[in-house]
Amino acid sequence: EPEVTQTPSHQVTQMGQEVILRCVPISNHLYFYWYRQILGQKVEFLVSFYNNEISEKSEIFDDQFSVERPDGSNFTLKIRSTKLEDSAMYFCASNLDRVEGGTQYFGPGTRLTVL
């Protein structure tokens, strides 16, 4: 069964550094998402992406965040200058179209630790 994959599984970085979190969505999917889960809290929407542009972003997704699909398979989340409060689990998700029941398929997550 096709799966969403994410790399790395755990990223440790120093405050102020840039990080890139990578996701490979399911190959025929068209809609892509990033969510964030701070430890012990609920999963929160960051951004959705379709047709090579952002469809929607939350207030969390400020200017330090960016997304791109550089090569037709990878979907990346870049955090330009990490802060301590960016420490969280980051989930990528994808789906084929928005009328398949809305189900989004999640990757295993990347745990980001900012020191």
Partner 1 sequence: AQTVTQSQPEMSVQEAETVTLSCTYDTSESNYYLFWYKQPPSRQMILVIRQEAYKQQNATENRFSVNFQKAAKSFSLKISDSQLGDTAMYFCAFIHTSGTYKYIFGTGTRLKVLA
Q: Which residues bind partner 1 (CB under 8 A)?
A: 31, 33, 35, 37, 41-45, 48, 55-56, 58, 89, 91, 93, 98-99, 101-106, 108-109, 111
| Upstream peptide bond of 70 is cis (omega within 30 degrees of 0) | no
What minimum distance in Å lies between the beta carbon of 111 and partner 1? 8
Nearest-5° Cα angle at 51, 36 to 109: 25
If the CB atoms of residues 25 and 109 are measured against partner 1, the closer one turns out to be 109
Nearest-5° Cα angle at 23, 30 to 75: 50
What minimum distance in Å lies between the beta carbon of 81 and partner 1? 25
What minimum distance in Å lies between the beta carbon of 89 and partner 1? 6
85, two tokens: 């409060």
**CA separation, residue 84 to residues 4, 16, 108, 112 (Å):** 27, 9, 22, 10
If the CB atoms of residues 53 and 71 are measured against partner 1, the closer one turns out to be 53
What minimum distance in Å lies between the beta carbon of 43 and partner 1? 5
